[in-house]
Amino acid sequence: MSKLGRLKANRKKIAPVILLLIIAGGIWFYNSGREQSYTGIAEAVVMTNPAEISGKIIESDVALGQEVGAGDVLAVIDGRDLEYALEQLELSLEKARIMNVDAQTGQDSRARSGVAAAQAAVNSAKAAENQANQDYKKALELYRGGAISESALDAAKLQSDTAASALAAARAQLSLAANNSAGSVSESTNVDILLLESRIAQQRDMIEKCVVTANADGTIISKNYGLGDFVAPGYNIADIASKSERYLVVYYPKDNLADISYGAQYTFMYDGSAYTGEVIYIDVKPVYTPQDFQTAANKNKESVKIKILLPEDCPIKPGEAAKITF
């Protein structure tokens, strides 16, 4: 083949290659100037709301998906036994104060009457405590044998603890009466009164804990216990998706990671409205783009997880999707 022929043949081979390069360059130029769309799914910090005392729930009006504010009532636990124990402590305190006045005024006869009354109260409380303790032991045997539920066992335990508290209060009353003697009477009774006042404050605090309230503004995403359920300290009544700590999760291609930075502002669309959020988290470990997050921009690619803080005025709820462009 002549030199001219070879040149013509080479030109024929080069022409398709040049055409492909032109097409590829055009596609690159077209795509490089376009904004890439991604799917973002809203998530929120989940706040637990545990019970702090044991008992049966007697009120529970919240429902899944309900919007609540911090301090709203999620559940009310039966606190009648606690209130009864508080009443006994308050009566003991009143008697202690009366006896303290009597001791200070030297009314020995009334002091002796107080000792007798206090001893009678101790005897009565001891009998009640013995009975409650026996009931709990029987309940424990029945529970081990499968005859009663755990909630029934816990109720029997609560009765036993309440009776023990009442007995302790009665003994404190008796101690006040027995120490009502010359010299150290006033100081001793004052100390015992302070102890009773401290126990009363503690009891009132426990009664307040019967009301379980929401610890954040947000949405109820799970309700674990309801009306009639028996709970113990640490049982999580409900989960709340915090309204103030929400973010949009997006999977961005690993190869384009240099385009994203902390604090950058990006606009996304939800329900026909535009909102702006700030990048608060970038994962350094790439993963295959999850199916729910795949779009034409990140499909079949390794991506990194990005979190964009949602503005408070955005009504999007956890689990809902939004469209975001970079």
pLDDT digits (tens, 9 = 90+) for 107-131: 566 566 777 888 888 888 888 889 8
Q: Could you read off the pLDDT of 157-201 as tens digits, one per residue?
A: 888 888 888 888 888 888 877 776 444 455 666 888 888 999 999
Is there a contact between 219 and 240 (Cβ–Cβ < 8 Å)? yes
Residue 48: what are its φ and ψ, rounded to 5°?
A: -85, 155
Q: Could you read off the pLDDT of 208-236 as tens digits, one per residue?
A: 999 999 999 988 999 999 999 999 999 99
CA angle, corner 267, sides to 264 and 273, nearest 5? 155
pLDDT at 6: 54
Strand order from edge to edge, sheet including 230-231: 211-213, 73-77, 55-59, 230-231
Is there a contact between 277 and 248 (Cβ–Cβ < 8 Å)? yes
Cα(299)–Cα(183) distance, integer angstroms = 89
Task: Catalogue the long-range contacts made by 155-158 (C-beta closer than 8 Å, 24 or more residues apart).
Answer: 155/56, 155/230, 156/132, 158/54, 158/55, 158/81
Evaluated on CA atoms 70, 75, 81, 83, the torsion sign reads positive
What domains lie within the chain, and their CATH numbers? Answer: 35-44+244-325 (2.40.30.170), 45-77+211-239 (2.40.50.100), 80-208 (1.10.287)
Of 12-21, 155-164, 207-216, 285-294, the poorest mean pLDDT is in 12-21
What average pLDDT does the chain have?
A: 83
* Exposed / middle / buried, residue 57 (Cβ in 10 Å: 0-12, 13-18, 19+): buried
Asked whether the whole model's pTM tops 0.85, one would answer: no
- Torsion angle, alpha carbons of 119, 124, 127, 133, to 10: -100
Interval 243-253 mean pLDDT:
90
**Residue whose entry in the numeric block shows the structure tokens 């005392």:** 53
209-244 exposure pattern, b = at least 16 Cβ within 10 A, e = fewer: bbebebebbbbbbebebeeeebbeeebebbbbbbbe
Interval 147-160 mean pLDDT:
85
What are the distances in angstroms from CA 188 to CA 18, 110, 147, 165? 105, 17, 49, 21
pLDDT at 178: 76
pLDDT at 147: 81
